Amino acid sequence: MEQILVDKKYEYDYNLDKNHHELYYSDNGEWSYPGELALRITDDGNGLAVTTEDEKLVYLDYDTAEKLLILLKLINRKYVYEVVTKRERL
């Protein structure tokens, strides 16, 4: 599991489980559901399915997913995203 920092603030945990990319709410004290699944992207070899815990939100082929990534990065230019190794708590 890796920590995701948004503007140097710990916001999410990222987990890769086979073909499932999972984003969980951090336990930083600001989320209503710390540790719960925020969003999952499943790569089925043909495209990407975006889901929450119990609901399929959208399915994107790879070409559309790339275009969406470009647009989202342009929309969110003011944020700095970092992936860091999560340290175990003592």
**pLDDT, tens digit (0-9, with 9 covering 90-100), for 49-66:** 999 888 888 998 998 888
**pLDDT, tens digit (0-9, with 9 covering 90-100), for 7-53:** 888 999 999 989 999 999 999 888 888 999 999 999 999 999 999 88
Q: Are 31 and 25 in contact (CB under 8 A)?
A: yes
- Residue 9 phi/psi, 5° resolution? -115, 130
Residue 82: partners with Cβ closer than 8 Å, 6 or more residues away: 4, 5, 8
What radius of gyration, in Å, describes the C-alpha atoms of the chain?
14
Give residue 30's pLDDT.
85
Domain boundaries, the chain: 2-85
Does pLDDT of 90 surpass 80?
Answer: no
Q: Are 52 and 39 in contact (CB under 8 A)?
A: yes
Give residue 87's pLDDT.
66
